[in-house]
Structure 1
Amino acid sequence: MKALQYRTIGAPPEVVEIPTPEPGPGQVRLKVTAAGVCHSDEFIMSLPEDSYTYGLPLTLGHEGAGIVDELGEGVTGLAVGDSAAVYGPWGCGYCYTCSKGQENYCENAATLGITPPGLGSPGAMAEYMIIDNARHLVPLGDLDPVQNVSLTDAGLTPYHAIKQSLDQLVPGSVAVVIGAGGLGHVGIQILRAMTAATVVALDVNEEKLGLAKEVGAHHAFLSNAEAAERVKELTGGHGAQAVFDFVGIQPTMELGQAMIRVGGDQVLVGVGSGTLPVGMLDKPWESSIRAPYWGYRSELFEVLELARTGAIHVETEIFTLDDAPKAYEKLHAGALRGRAVIVL
């Protein structure tokens, strides 16, 4: 079968032929229909050799959807032909957090060597992929897999981040989204669908600011030295109740800190390498910094329901598997509008 693999440190991913996998006991083979391209892929492919821990060759793709193709021995609750999305942050299934559907925070995954597809385990950018357990497939029903596959990360991650701040986002509140790209433009829609907050989008790219307005941002400003003051002006000098940083580099983290209000939430979602000082005099009183990771399995059901009602959607640019390396080139150049999806 064909697959897109990262094979050499520092080199671009390659389309190669590899054996078609067979499901073992308890596993499911998925005939992949769509796979999403993510900045996290670019992040791990940019790591130097001494920091890279994901194994080579690595079949990419932690956003996946497909049709159940073959069931391993003992698998129940699924049928061949079912359309499903892949819940990516796999856990052990037995620890306390996994028992609550919070497998993204599994207590045993690191010890047991459990890794997400495309981020250690073979991912979705292949004609077929193995799902380690049937619980990691969430029914898509009548949802189009191509248009919705990215919700498994680009929807689930902002949903999880925003849901933890819902008590802040009351009528009259202001929520800031830094970065209106793949995750950020979905985050704006989630904020509009679930809260009464005024939504402010910040980005360095005018086209992405235009997209932010299209999907529901009340205000869209360039992310520059004046942005914090503009947010302060919107809030009578108080600042934002919540800042969701989908970039996570030093300038955006400092910008978020400059515009948060007393008791506000600064939520670091992006995988940039910025850092912030924390102390009694470093931030407004009672404010918090959170760094959430991905989302709960139950939350993926909720995200797909939002899509089913039309409350959220993902702007997608479609590529074939053979053209998948070009999708990563456009991602690196910042030339994608929304999310790239590989169609198989």
Structure 2
Amino acid sequence: MDTLSQTTATMRAAVVVGAGEIEVRTVPRPEPAQGQVRVRLEGCGVCASNLTPWSGPDWMQFPTEPGGLGHEGWGLIDALGEGVTGLDVGDRVAALSYHAYAGYDIAEASAVVKLPEALKGQPFPGEPLGCAMNIFRRAEISAGQTVAIIGIGFLGALLTQLAVKAGARVIAISRRPFSLNIARRMGAEELIEMNDHWQIIEQVKALTDGRFCDRVIEAVGKPWPLDLAAELTRERGRLIVAGYHQDGPRQINMQLWNWRGIDVINAHERDPDIYMEGIRAAVAAVAEGHLDPSSLYTHVFPLEQLDDALNATRDRPDGFLKAMVTCR
């Protein structure tokens, strides 16, 4: 096994020991098996999908595995398992791995993407950036379309930027004034505060001369925004479900969906190969200047304050959009 350092056999890793409670423990450093690499992590983004496990539902088992829940890591390859080719110790990579709230994590060699020199020193949470690229691809947004984006968090802000770059007119709908200001900076033409359901419908109707929107992206993950998204989608338009709906079944207005002939796209991917396509596309887009997420990383926490990072992701204080955890 090729390795950058043989001197440290342990690492620090966050362990969720109960609802809303973490410990940072010293644990054995993992070793890569055949076809795997070990990444010495620089940082990891904090994903809203962590919030349900963090709240301690009945099905959650504590303590978590060391580093568990973290899946947005990046850093330097420091060890190669047998049979790994095309990668070298010292390569800086974004990794699709699943124990990244730690000093090190293991990833399949096929699940890392090299970061070019143009991204030197920049944080790169590959998984959410790749998700944005995959959602944008499946939305099939093009110049001249009117696109409503419901929910301007990190994902919604990225999609706003991508849609504007594609030549679409973007209507941004969000609860927080801070988020709407972000959408404006990303190029949204119209801003609507997400408060009254029927008022929003009337505003969008007026802005589109009664036609509504060619594309509507729901990026919240709650029932009301999903209902609203259908109302804002024009006949034969496309509704893209990008919010993470992890809290149970949904009731939908099938009559409306049916009457308008709406195409509904569930834009969540589970195939690792498609995840990696998105991450590679994100690396290229950021390196070439087509996508700039740098201003969206609003809060940075050390690993010892992962609980504060998760709570901020849940509570969304003013000025918050995306939390990152430093792992060194």
Query: TM-score category by the smaller chain?
Result: 0.7 to 0.9
1:235–1:25 distance in 2 versus 1, CA, 3 Å: same
Partner of 2:82: 73
Matches within 5 A, 1:112-191: 117-118=97-98, 123-131=99-107, 133-144=108-119, 147-150=122-125, 152-166=126-140, 169-191=141-163
1:286 equivalent in alignment to 2:268: no
Q: Which residue of 1 aligns with 2:181?
A: 210
Structure 2 length-normalised TM: 0.86
CA contact (8 A) 2:300 2:325 kept: yes
Matched-pair contact (CA < 8 Å) for 1:5–1:57: yes
CA change 1:58–1:70 in 2 (3 A) is closer
Give 2:168's match in structure 1, choosing from 181, 197, 211: 197
Report the counterpart of residue 55 of structure 2 in structure 1.
46
Q: Deviations over 1:256-289 (max 9, x none)?
A: 1111100111111112346243645544432122
| C-alpha separation in 2, matches of 1:55 and 1:174 | 46
Q: CA deviation at 1:33?
A: 0.9
User: Which sections of structure 1, spanning at least 5 residues, go unmatched?
Assistant: 89-116
More helix by share: 2
2:70 to 61, 64, 69: 61
Whichever residue aligns with residue 301 of structure 1, its letter is R
Distance, in Å, in 1 between the alignment partners of 2:203 and 2:62 is: 42
CA distance in 2, matches of 1:170, 1:20: 47
Mapped to 1, the partners of 2:109 and 2:62 lie a distance apart of: 23
CA distance in 2: counterparts of 1:320 and 1:125, whole angstroms: 10
CA distance in 2, matches of 1:276, 1:174: 26
Distance 1:6 1:69 in 2: 26
2:38 is aligned with what amino acid?
R
Matched, 1:305 2:284: yes
Q: Structure 1 residue 341 and structure 2 residue 324: aligned?
A: yes
Aligned partner of 2:7 in structure 1 is none
Q: Distance in 2 between matches of 1:67 and 1:2?
A: 16
Partner of 1:109: none
CA distance, structure 2, for counterparts of residue 281 and residue 202 of structure 1: 21
Counting matched residue pairs gives 304
**Residue 7 (structure 1) aligns with:** 17
Q: CA deviation at 1:213?
A: 0.7
Alpha-carbon separation, structure 2, partners of 1:212 and 1:149: 21
Residue number in structure 1 paired with 2:191: 220
Aligned CA-pair RMSD? 2.1
Structure 1 pair 22–307 and aligned structure 2 pair: CA distance change class (3 A): same
- The equivalent of 1:260 in structure 2 is 233
CA distance 1:323–1:280, change in 2 (3 Å): closer
Segment drifting more, 333-342 vs 236-245? 333-342
Give how far 1:54 is off: 9.5
Of stretches 315-324 and 197-206 in structure 1, the one that deviates more from structure 2 is 315-324
TM-score calculated relative to the size of structure 1: 0.82
1:305, 1:222 → 2: CA distance?
Answer: 33
Aligned residue in 1 for 2:8: none
Which residue of the partner structure matches residue 104 of structure 1? none
> Is 1:17 equivalent to 2:26 in the alignment?
yes
Is the 8 Å Cα contact of residues 17 and 63 (structure 2) preserved in structure 1? Answer: no
The one-letter amino acid of 2:149's match is V
Q: Residues 171-194 of structure 1, C-alpha deviation per residue, up to 9 Å, x if partnerless?
A: 43211111111211111111122x
Bigger Cα displacement from structure 2, 178-187 vs 318-327: 318-327
- Contiguous gaps of at least 5 residues in structure 2: 1-10
Question: Structure 2 matches for 1:104-119, cutoff 5 A?
Answer: 117-118=97-98
Match of 1:270 among 239, 243, 259: 243
Q: Tell me the residue number matched to 1:324.
A: 306
The DSSP-based 3-state class of the residue aligned with 1:7 is: strand
